[in-house]
Amino acid sequence: MALINLPAFADALLADFESLGTLRVDTPVIQPAEPFLAMAGEDLRRRIFMTESETGESLCLRPEFTIPVCLRHIEAVTGTPKRYAYLGEVFRQRREGGNEFYQAGIEDLGDTDTATADARAVSDAMRIVANRLPGRPLAVTLGDQAVFEAVVGACGLPAGWQKRLIHAFGDQKHLQKLLTELAHPRTVGVFGPEVVRLSMDGLLEDEDRLVAHVAATMEATGYSTNASRSPEDIARRLKEKMELANTRLDRKTLDHVAAFLALDVPLADAPAALFAFAQKSGLKLDDALTRFDARVAALAKTGADIGAIRYRSAFGRPLDYYTGLVFEVELAGTHAVLAGGGRFDRLLTLLGAREHIPAVGFSLWLDRIEKAIASEGGAQ
């Protein structure tokens, strides 16, 4: 039976949050399900506990805190940067462990000094975990979606392919499949018979006529031109797809991407390794690398143990609101993630914020931390 009371170290954790200068917030346990499903995708549906209100609104037991905390920040329209801390129960079906467990974390919303905010998130997470597990060596993995985006951008691929690759970042299997397709383009670019006809009618060279044709077809077949994809959307992507089909990634570029994705070095060595990669490949990555280096420098200033952090270039999350930093904290020699976080600059806009609000944060898996503490006791 899983423990469902507050972990014994809850008070010490809250004291840490306070000393880090965060604002403690709480949110209702019962939440509208829509924002979670819209942000995280359908896969989440199987793992959250859903119910309905009397009026048919989909509700769920809070599966995590980030979205409710962000929604609250947007509603408060403070406009000023805020660092929120939370500690409470979340409800999710997991392969291992119970379905209800405590989670805590910090969300740092609105700070435009991203290097400093990133560094603070990593070092705060490390410090809090280290405080619970004194003397136990940590292993931190760090990745950066923005560097990958820069590599893909510098390879000179058409926009459609860039989007595909960036979207697959963090999903190793899918990314590999796409790269293989890029190298052997016979598997891409399936066009239906309708497109051949359009081409013979000369519609593919004339975007305005193509749009008009799509609109007329929609009307003739009873489809609305504005309920779903518009004629302009379809015409534009058809053009993009023709570009995609005609693109082949040459051996050299493919090797560059592969070499990049294989990088796995101590963080302290990462700026030099990335610089060497940029030089060798001839890819122009200056902006992304400058930001990467600034984050490493900011991290060094926080006093965090940089030696415990490795940079893994392929490490990312395949969700469209993650934009830069991602990281995970484990005990060295284990594979249980005790804390994980990253930068999600797109999330608040997706949730309805009018202006761009940069965001970075992390959450702590308290039941796993508790287990790690217990395993220490057992070993002694």
C-alpha dihedral sign at 84, 87, 91, 97: positive
CB of 122 to other proteins, least distance (A): 26
How big is the chain, counted in residues?
A: 380
Give the nearer residue to other proteins in terms of CB position, either 96 or 194. 194
Q: Minimum CB separation from other proteins for residue 237, in Å?
A: 4
Dist CA 142 CA 230 (whole Å) = 40
* Minimum CB distance to other proteins, residue 235 (Å): 8
Q: Determine the distance from the C-alpha atom of residue 2 to the mean position of all C-alpha atoms in its chain, rounded to a whole number.
A: 29
- Compare residues 188 and 254 and give the one whose CB is closer to other proteins: 188
**Residue with smaller CB distance to other proteins, 88 or 318:** 318
348-to-67, 114, 214, 278, 355 alpha-carbon distances in Å: 9, 15, 34, 32, 9
CB of 5 or CB of 221, closer to other proteins: 221
Tell me how many degrees the CA angle 365-371-374 measures, rounded to the nearest 5. Answer: 145
The distance of closest approach from Cβ of residue 212 to other proteins in the complex, given in angstroms and rounded to an integer, is 13
Contacts with 376 (C-beta within 8 Å, 6 or more apart), sequence order: 133, 136
What is the distance between the alpha carbons of residues 354 and 158, in angstroms, rounded to a whole number?
30
Six token digits for residue 252: 């050299």
Element (H, E) at 120: helix 114-132
Query: With respect to other proteins, which residue has the nearer C-beta, 345 or 376?
Result: 345
Measured from the CB atom, the residue of 210 and 364 that comes closer to other proteins is: 210
Q: Which two tokens stand for residue 259?
A: 């070499």
Q: Cβ closer to other proteins: 181 or 269?
A: 181
Per CB under 8 A, residues contacting other proteins are 37-38, 40-43, 45-46, 160, 163-164, 167-168, 171, 173-174, 177, 181, 188, 190-192, 194-195, 198, 214, 217-218, 221-224, 227-229, 233-234, 237-238, 240-241, 318-320, 350
Looking at the Cβ atoms of 266 and 352, the one nearer to other proteins is 352
What is the smallest separation between the CB atom of 354 and other proteins, expressed in angstroms? 14
* Residue 129 Cβ vs other proteins, minimum distance, rounded to whole Å: 29
What 3-state DSSP class applies to 363?
strand
Between 171 and 345, whose beta carbon lies closer to other proteins?
171
CB atoms within 10 A of CB 247: 16
Pick the closest to residue 317 from 192, 174, 191, 181 (CA basis): 174
Q: How far is the CB of 234 from other proteins (least distance, A)?
A: 6
- Whole-number minimum distance, CB 155 to other proteins, in Å? 18
List of E strands, the chain:
23-24, 30-32, 50-52, 58-61, 82-91, 100-109, 138-144, 264-266, 309-312, 325-331, 337-343, 359-365
User: Toward other proteins, which CB reaches closer, 237 or 284?
Assistant: 237
Least gap, CB of 243 to other proteins (angstroms): 11
Q: Quick one: 72 exposed, middle or buried, by C-beta within 10 A (0-12, 13-18, 19+)?
A: middle
Residue 54, token pair as written in the block: 């009397």
Cβ at position 328, least distance to other proteins in Å: 19
